Structure 1
C-alpha cells in the first residue's frame, strides 16, 4: 500500500511539474492560455515584485520556454556573428549555459524591429529545438536539456529578395513532428514537418512564393486535427499527419505574422494582419469554410486571444478590442497606446499584454467593458510574449538605446 501511495505522489508531482511547463510558442494548448487554476502577479515595477532579474547577452525576441526547472531562450550577437541557446535556472535566474549554434552567416539585412533570434524554442520534454535563419537557410539545432548539441539540420533554403525582413515564425511540435513554416519569394517556400529524432524531412506542403511570417497552429476542429495558417491571401488548413491540404479559402492578405486562434464550440477560426491590407476575420472550420465576419482592425505581429466566447486583440494603433466570436459584434474598445509585437496571454480571468515601449497592461477577460487591473513598466521596450508558470511571469525585455541597450529576463512574483 505504501508503495502505491508513493507512486501516486510521484505521479501527481510529475503531472504538476508538467502543467507548469511552457514548452513552445503559444503554450501547451496552443491558445496562449495558462493551465486551469494558474495564478500570476498583477502589479510590479523595477523596484518591487521581482523574484530575480538577470542580464541577457545579445539580442533576441524569442519568448521564454520552460521545461522543468530551466528556461530556454535564444539570442544573437551581431558583432560576434553568433546565434546561441541560453539556459537559465528557473528558481534563481542564474545563466547556466550559453551554447553557440551558429558562427557567421547572419543575414546582412533584416527589419529594424526583428532580430537574428526571434523564433521561440520548442521542447518535447527531452530535447529543445532552436530555429535560426543563417547562411540563406532555415536551420534547426536540437539540444538535450543540458544544452549538449544532438544534431543540426538545414530544413530548407530561405533567402528572401523582395522583403529582407528576416525570419519570424516559430517551430511547434505537433503529434511527434516538428512543424516549421518558411515563406519567402523562393523555390523552397513551404510548411515542413521534420523528425525530432534526427531532423529528417517527413513531409512538405509547398507554399506559393511570397513573404509571410505566421506560425501554423494545430487545433481539433470539425472532428479532425487541423494545422491552420494565414497569409498568402489565404486561410489554409493542413493535415498535420501528412501535410495534405484539407481546405483553403481566399481571405486574409499577403503577409501576416500572428498565429491563428479558434472557438471549438462554434467551429470558428480567427486571423488578423497584415500587409498590405488590414483585417481581422472569423472563418468556419467546417462546412464551406466561409468568412463569417470581418473588420479592418490590424493586429499584424501580435496574435489574437480567444476566451469564453469572445476574441480579444490589441491593434497596431494601440487599441484593445473585444469582439463576440460568433458574429464579430464589438463589445468594447479601449485605447492603451504604444505599438505591439508581444501577444496577449490569459492567466485565470486576466489578460496580460506588453507594448513595444515596455508597458504591460493587465485587464479582465470580460465582455462587460474594459476593466483594467494594472499598468506596469519594466525597461524601455518589450517584443517577446510573457510566459506564465508556477505563479510567476517570466518576462524578457530591453532597457536603453543603441550600444547601451541591455536585455533582461525577469521572474515576476514571489
Structure 2
C-alpha cells in the first residue's frame, strides 16, 4: 500500500544506493499510459499501479513484472461517462492501490473501489456507490488491516470515514465527521489524506486527518477515540508514529505540523499536542521517521530534520524546488524525488549530508516503492527499476 507494507516509508531491510545514476543504474524503464500520481505497490514479484485518461473517462490498473518490466496485465477497471472536474495538478488515478496475496484493491475515489484477482486481474467485487464530491479529483488512498479496507472521504458535500469487508466489499461501518469547519465555504471542508493504524497501549487506533481536525477511531467499530484541532484544509499526508507520538501535517493553513500524545485525552475528547511547528512543513508530502529523527520535505524543496520527541530542528536545506513525493528510507539514507526529476539521497543524521543528487528526464509525483532488492520510481510517464546497493 501507499508508503510500503507498514505505511511509513521505512524499509530497514533495504540498502539504498549512495549514488544513483539516471542512465547506468536504470535496469529497465517501462512506459505507463495515461496520467496517475498513485504510487506503485509490489508483492510476489509483481508491481501494481493505477492510471487514467486525462479526462477521467477510463480508469485502469497495470501489473508489471518486477524483474524485467514486462506488462503482465493492463485492463480498464472503470469507465465514466461524465467525470467531475479534476485539478490540472491532480489526476483521476492518484489513490495508491493495496495488494495482498491473491488480491489487489484499487480505489479511484468517488468513481469506484474494486478488488481484483492478482493472477488474472479479473474483478472479484466492486463498489460504485461510495459517493462524495472531492471537488479537485481523488487522492486519498485506502489501507488494509485484518481483512478490512479503510479510507477517508472528505468532500465539499459530505465528509466521512468508511470501512469495508475486504473479502466481500460490503460496508462494515461508516462514520460521518463531526467537525466545525468555521466556514460557509465548502472548499475548506475537503481533505486528501490517507489514514493509518497505530497501536496505542495495546489497542489499535485508526488515525484519519481531515480539514481542521485529525480524528482517531476504533478500527473494529468506528467509535471515536479522540481528536485534535489543528486547522488547515487539503491535507494530503499519511500520519506517522514514533516514541509514543503521532505526527500529522495540516495541509494548507493551520498549525501545519503537530505531535500528538494519544494517551492523554481531556474531558472533551481532545488529545494532547506535545509540540507543534508551522515553518517549512509539507502540504502534500508525508513525513518520515528514522530512529528519533523526523524528516520531511516541503512543497518548495526544503528538507528539514527534527527531533521526534521535542520538535527541535537540527537542520534544514533546500534540495530543489517542487516536491510532492514522500521520502523513503532504509534507516541510514533517505531518498527524495522531485517534480522536476531531481532524485537526491541524504544521510539520516543530525547533521546534514547530501550524499548524491541526479537529474532524471521526467518529474516524479508518486512515492517510490522499495521491494525485491530494488527501488521502483514512477515518473510522469514511466516506471523505472533501480537496483539496491550490494554492499
| Contact preservation (8 Å) 1:212, 1:255 | yes
Match of 2:330 in 1: 347
- 2:387 is the counterpart of 1:408: no
- 2:14 is the counterpart of 1:38: yes
Q: CA deviation at 1:125?
A: 1.5
Where does structure 2 lack aligned partners over 5 or more consecutive residues?
179-185, 266-270
Following superposition, which runs of at least 4 residues in structure 1 exceed 4 angstroms of deviation? none
| Contact preservation (8 Å) 1:75, 1:116 | yes
Q: Would the alpha carbon gap of residues 80 and 177 (structure 1) be closer, same or farther in structure 2, given more than 3 Å must change?
A: closer
Match of 2:249 in 1: 272
Match of 1:394 in 2: 376
Q: Deviations over 1:136-187 (max 9, x none)?
A: x341111101211111112511224xxx211111011012100011111224
Match of 2:278 in 1: 296
Q: Would the alpha carbon gap of residues 332 and 80 (structure 1) be closer, same or farther in structure 2, given more than 3 Å must change?
A: closer
| Contact preservation (8 Å) 1:235, 1:252 | no
- 2:335 is the counterpart of 1:385: no
| Contact preservation (8 Å) 1:222, 1:285 | no
Q: CA separation in 2, counterparts of 1:215 and 1:206?
A: 16
Q: CA separation in 2, counterparts of 1:197 and 1:155?
A: 17
Q: CA separation in 1, counterparts of 2:56 and 2:94?
A: 17
Match of 2:268 in 1: none
- What's the C-alpha RMSD, in Å, of the aligned pairs? 1.7
Where does structure 1 lack aligned partners over 5 or more consecutive residues?
1-23, 399-406
Task: Tell me the TM-score normalized by structure 1.
Answer: 0.86
Task: Tell me the TM-score normalized by structure 2.
Answer: 0.91
Match of 1:87 in 2: 63
Q: CA deviation at 1:334?
A: 0.7
- 2:334 is the counterpart of 1:360: no
- 2:23 is the counterpart of 1:52: no
Count of aligned positions: 372
Q: CA deviation at 1:397?
A: 0.4
User: Where does 1:4-83 land on structure 2 (aligned, <5 Å)?
Assistant: 24-34=1-11, 36-78=12-54, 81-83=57-59
Q: Would the alpha carbon gap of residues 283 and 52 (structure 1) be closer, same or farther in structure 2, given more than 3 Å must change?
A: same
- 2:297 is the counterpart of 1:321: no
Q: CA separation in 2, counterparts of 1:212 and 1:79?
A: 22
Match of 1:375 in 2: 357
| Contact preservation (8 Å) 1:294, 1:328 | yes
Match of 1:12 in 2: none
Match of 1:195 in 2: 165
| Contact preservation (8 Å) 1:168, 1:214 | yes
Q: Deviations over 1:47-74 (max 9, x none)?
A: 2101111111111111111010111010
Q: CA separation in 1, counterparts of 2:81 and 2:108?
A: 11
Match of 1:308 in 2: 291
Q: CA separation in 2, counterparts of 1:365 and 1:347?
A: 9
Q: CA deviation at 1:242?
A: 1.0
